[in-house]
């Protein structure tokens, strides 16, 4: 499974990754600072004095909640790693935007034919055995692409060789059950990343809830059948009592 490793300590903020992504995906040169429907990756300055920069992009979860939430299969995880989007299947429900724990997917609100937009990890390049466009363009090695297990090993090698400059944490190794974008750097930068993302895959949590629905429906259905029987029974008894009273009254007349 392919992945991307981003090393904050090696990034110089040149935005070569941002421009390479824009060129590869034919995006306009606008909104360079933030993720948007026109920008699949952005470089955020975390500390001006230390010159630390953090890449923002789709994390390409190993078990993506966006794909799990999509009712029509417009988003899917490919065996090579990228989470890709199929506009022809999309119905515009935007459940993926709600489901993503990293708040990544963006929507083309101003378009007559709106799409969900996000990084697709250059899936065609990856399928051809090439590096992602952002990794190929990076002049310092801050962004690397390759086999996920090898990049995790590389991340820990860098951390162990320079422990004073890195937090002992490879962000994405376990978050959301693991992601295909891995981030290492100083503790101050790691703290900026979402700390509330659990280590378990989010689709497992939703599946637990969804798996209870058939049993809940059966119980509620049985209860409604029981209530209906009681109501019908009472109505029948009330009708019989009324009929008996009427007959008794008629029979008592002189």
Query: Do the domain assignments include residue 103?
Result: yes
What is the number of domains present in the chain? 2
Q: Mind listing the pLDDT tens digit for each residue in 116-128?
A: 999 999 999 999 9
Q: Could you tell me the residue range of the domain that residue 84 belongs to?
A: 2-201
The answer on 225 and 152 residing in a single domain is: no
Q: What is the pLDDT of residue 232?
A: 76
Note the pTM of the prediction, 2 decimals.
Answer: 0.79
Flag whether 207 is in a domain.
no
pLDDT of residue 248: 56
From 201, 220, 241, give the residue that closes a domain.
Answer: 201
Q: Are residues 67 and 176 in the same domain?
A: yes
Domain edge (last residue) among 161, 179, 201: 201
Any domain includes 35? yes
d(Cα 30, Cα 157) in Å, to the nearest integer?
Answer: 37
Residue 139 domain flag: yes
Higher pLDDT, 171 or 202: 171
**Are both 109 and 128 inside the same structural domain?**
yes
Q: Which of 121-135, 157-171, 237-251 has the lowest mean pLDDT?
A: 237-251
In a domain, 51, yes or no: yes
* CATH number, position 193: 3.30.70.20
């Amino acid at each position: 499974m392919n992945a991307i490793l981003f090393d904050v300590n090696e990034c110089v903020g040149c935005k070569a990754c941002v421009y390479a992504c824009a060129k590869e995906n034919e995006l306009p040169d606008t909104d360079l600072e933030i993720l948007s429907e026109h920008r699949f990756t952005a470089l955020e300055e975390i500390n001006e004095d230390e010159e630390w920069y953090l890449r923002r992009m789709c994390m390409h979860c190993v078990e993506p909640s966006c794909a799990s939430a999509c009712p029509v299969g417009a988003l899917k995880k490919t065996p090579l790693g990228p989470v890709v989007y199929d506009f022809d299947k999309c119905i515009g429900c935007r459940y993926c935007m709600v489901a993503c724990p990293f708040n990544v997917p963006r929507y083309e609100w101003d378009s007559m034919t709106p799409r969900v937009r996000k990084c697709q990890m250059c899936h065609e390049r990856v399928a051809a055995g090439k590096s992602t466009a952002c990794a190929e363009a990076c002049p310092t090695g801050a962004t690397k692409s390759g086999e996920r297990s090898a990049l995790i090993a590389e991340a820990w090698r860098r951390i162990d060789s320079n422990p004073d400059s890195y937090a002992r944490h490879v962000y994405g190794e376990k978050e959301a059950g693991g992601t295909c974008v891995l981030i290492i750097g100083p503790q101050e930068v790691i703290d900026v990343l979402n700390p509330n993302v659990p280590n378990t895959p989010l689709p497992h949590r939703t599946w637990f809830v969804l798996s209870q629905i058939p049993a809940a429906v059966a119980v509620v259905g049985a209860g409604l059948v029981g209530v209906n029987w009681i109501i019908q029974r009472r109505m029948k008894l009330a009708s019989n009592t009324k009929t008996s009273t009427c007959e008794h009254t008629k029979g008592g007349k002189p």
